[in-house]
């Protein structure tokens, strides 16, 4: 094989699995340099005398991924140079990672766990399923026993999610059509993706708009076209953009409240009372937080007469408009069949 021949791409789950195994196998921990230059999935792209910035960012994301799995990844300061990030060492304490001694899985249970991870392997949850398989393998829970002849395919994320995630990894400018509430036509936006975050059960894109040099947040469900990755790249800003995006969304959520009168014991009463931050006022009215008036109006209109918005006026009007539209639609359908 020639020196210029491209290296085969290592699957994400294999890279994460190799990282977990490497960090489990060391007592003293491994430095970032040792990980990038020796662990499967990193070493193939490691440049001993070149720029490894992209690879280092990949490692930072992988650390978050394995921590999301519940893996107790530790960071250890170098005894001789405390505070020097370049000499930090990483390890996974085996005793904290292994399953408790009193937990055992049968072959059938292991196979079912594997099936659960594979259910979405071709769908929009493929990243999570890959990480789940890594977790199972890392715990030694591997089974080849067949359970079902097929795995259902489910889709629970917006179509824009995967191309935006790819753009984040490549620091690529993207282009898409975005339809804001109240606008008749979608507008094409060209932005630099900074973070994908989930807030109140919905996915948002935190991005920089190069033309205005301002950051904006886009709700993925309002992206109404395919996401195009352009050939233009950008330098990722310093700082935790995910934390910044979540903080901004949380501030919006905290600043918007609505007073809603609900029928006691109704579905609206039961569901709305369980929303985070809900406060029941002395007269029984619920005070609720929300981020987006249009999305919240859709939800409240779905309760019909069980929920009546008292304030703010803009939300009350939005819910009323939806209910009138529904009533008019039914009236038109009845007239056409009359």
3-state class (DSSP) for residue 154: coil
Domain-located, residue 7: no
Q: Is the pLDDT assigned to residue 93 strictly greater than 90?
A: no
34 shares a domain with 57: yes
**Listed residues 97, 128, 145: the one ending a domain:** 97
Chain segment 246-283, per-residue pLDDT in tens: 999 999 999 999 999 999 989 899 889 988 899 999 99
Q: Name all contacts of 87-91 with Cβ < 8 Å and 24+ positions apart.
A: 87/31, 88/31, 88/32, 89/28, 89/29, 89/30, 89/31, 90/23, 90/29, 90/30, 90/31, 90/32, 90/35, 90/63, 91/23, 91/26, 91/27, 91/28, 91/29, 91/30
Domain-located, residue 5: no
Radius of gyration of the chain from its Cα atoms, rounded to whole angstroms: 25
Whichever domain contains 203, its CATH number is 2.30.30
235 shares a domain with 268: no
Q: What is the pLDDT of residue 307?
A: 95
Q: Domain count of the chain? A: 4
224 shares a domain with 172: yes
3-state class (DSSP) for residue 32: helix
Domain-located, residue 206: yes
Per the prediction, the chain carries an average pLDDT of 80
Domain-located, residue 36: yes
Domain-located, residue 2: no
pTM: 0.54
Q: What is the pLDDT of residue 153?
A: 39
74 shares a domain with 17: yes
**Listed residues 178, 204, 239: the one ending a domain:** 239
234 shares a domain with 197: yes
Instruction: Report phi then psi at 173, rounded to 5.
Output: -65, 140
Q: Is 266 exposed, middle or buried (0-12, 13-18, 19+ CB in 10 A)?
A: middle
Range of the domain at 188: 161-239
320 shares a domain with 297: yes
Domain-located, residue 278: yes
Chain segment 95-122, per-residue pLDDT in tens: 776 656 666 666 666 665 555 555 444 4
Distance between CA atoms of residues 288 and 271, nearest Å: 12
**Listed residues 211, 239, 267: the one ending a domain:** 239
Chain segment 11-25, per-residue pLDDT in tens: 777 788 888 888 887
200 shares a domain with 175: yes
Whichever domain contains 51, its CATH number is 1.10.10
Domain-located, residue 102: no
pLDDT tier, 33 (very low <50, low <70, confident <90, very high otherwise): confident
Domain-located, residue 220: yes
Residue 41: how many CB atoms within 10 A of its CB? 23
Q: Is the pLDDT assigned to residue 318 strictly greater than 50?
A: yes
């Amino acid at each position: 094989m020639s020196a210029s021949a491209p290296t085969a791409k290592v699957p994400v789950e294999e890279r994460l699995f190799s990282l977990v195994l490497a960090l489990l196998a060391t007592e003293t921990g491994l430095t970032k340099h040792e990980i990038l230059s020796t662990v499967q999935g990193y070493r193939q792209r490691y440049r001993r005398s070149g720029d490894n910035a992209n690879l280092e960012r990949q490692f930072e994301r992988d650390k978050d991924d394995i921590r999301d799995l519940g893996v107790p990844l530790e960071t250890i300061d170098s005894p001789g140079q405390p505070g020097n990030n370049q000499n930090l060492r990483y390890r996974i304490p085996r005793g904290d990672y292994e399953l408790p001694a009193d937990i055992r899985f049968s072959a059938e249970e292991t196979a079912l766990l594997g099936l659960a991870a594979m259910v979405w392997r071709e769908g929009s949850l493929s990243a999570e399923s890959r990480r789940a398989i890594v977790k199972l393998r890392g715990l030694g829970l591997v089974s080849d026993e067949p359970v079902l002849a097929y795995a259902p395919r489910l889709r629970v994320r917006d179509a824009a999610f995967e191309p935006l995630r790819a753009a984040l990894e490549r620091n690529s400018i993207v282009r898409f059509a975005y339809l804001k509430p109240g606008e008749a036509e979608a507008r094409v936006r060209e932005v630099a993706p900074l973070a994908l975050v989930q807030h109140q059960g919905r996915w948002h894109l935190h991005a920089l708009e190069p033309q205005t040099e301002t950051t904006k947040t886009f709700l993925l469900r309002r992206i109404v076209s395919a996401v195009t990755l352009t050939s233009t790249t950008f330098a990722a800003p310093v700082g935790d953009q995910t934390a910044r995006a979540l903080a901004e969304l949380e501030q919006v959520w905290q600043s918007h409240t609505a007073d809603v009168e609900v029928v006691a014991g109704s579905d609206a009463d039961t569901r709305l009372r369980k929303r985070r931050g809900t406060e029941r006022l002395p007269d029984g009215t619920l005070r609720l937080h929300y981020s987006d008036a249009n999305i919240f109006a859709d939800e409240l209109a779905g309760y019909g007469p069980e929920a009546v918005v008292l304030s703010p006026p803009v939300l009350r009007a939005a819910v009323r408009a939806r209910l009138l539209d529904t009533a008019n639609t039914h009236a038109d359908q009845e007239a056409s069949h009359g």
